[in-house]
Structure 1
Amino acid sequence: MLMSSNDRPATLHYGPNGFRVVTTGSHVVCAVSGEKIPLDALRYWSAALQEAYASPELATRRLLERA
């Protein structure tokens, strides 16, 4: 079965002030929890690690793990 962009993850390039869609999709996956994050709800990411996070708590957890 073919998947539409409505049910597959997007590929993004994360910058310090925003992100650019590389491959279209409906969501990205949180690097910590594995939770699907709709693109219109994406607020937290790391440009250095090129990862998305579902919440500020999860973003902080990842940064503390890397310290």
Structure 2
Amino acid sequence: MNRIDKIGGGEAELVYGDGEYHVVNPGAYVTCAVTGVHIPLDELRYWNVDLQEPYATPEASLKRMQEIRGKA
């Protein structure tokens, strides 16, 4: 049994706020909007409130912001 099995397994649904998030549907992880990597909830540190997207790393967050600015 691994860490994901203990928590409940599947993907969680979250609402991202300023400095915190709220769990809408419980799960063990969310998927990075840029890389597709599964992020265990206890390791989730980066997200965008306006886009409601989680990111695995600060680099992934920066990449998304650069993509958005490039389109503007």
> Structure 1 or 2: larger helix share?
2
Identical-pair percentage: 45
Which aligned segments of 4 or more residues in structure 1 are displaced greater than 4 angstroms? Answer: none
Query: How far did 1:34 drift?
Result: 0.4
Equivalent residue number for residue 27 of structure 1: 29
Q: Which has the larger radius of gyration?
A: 2
RMSD between aligned alpha carbons? 1.2
- When the two structures are superposed, what TM-score results if normalisation uses the length of structure 2? 0.84
Q: What is the total number of aligned residue pairs between the two structures?
A: 64
Distance 1:17 1:39 in 2: 14
Q: Unaligned 5+ residue runs, structure 1? A: none
Q: Unaligned 5+ residue runs, structure 2? A: none
Distance 1:14 1:29 in 2: 13
Distance 2:19 2:68 in 1: 21
- When the two structures are superposed, what TM-score results if normalisation uses the length of structure 1? 0.90
Distance 1:59 1:6 in 2: 27
Tell me which amino acid in the other structure corresponds to 1:38: P
The aligned runs of 1:1-67 (5 Å cut-off) are 6-67=8-69
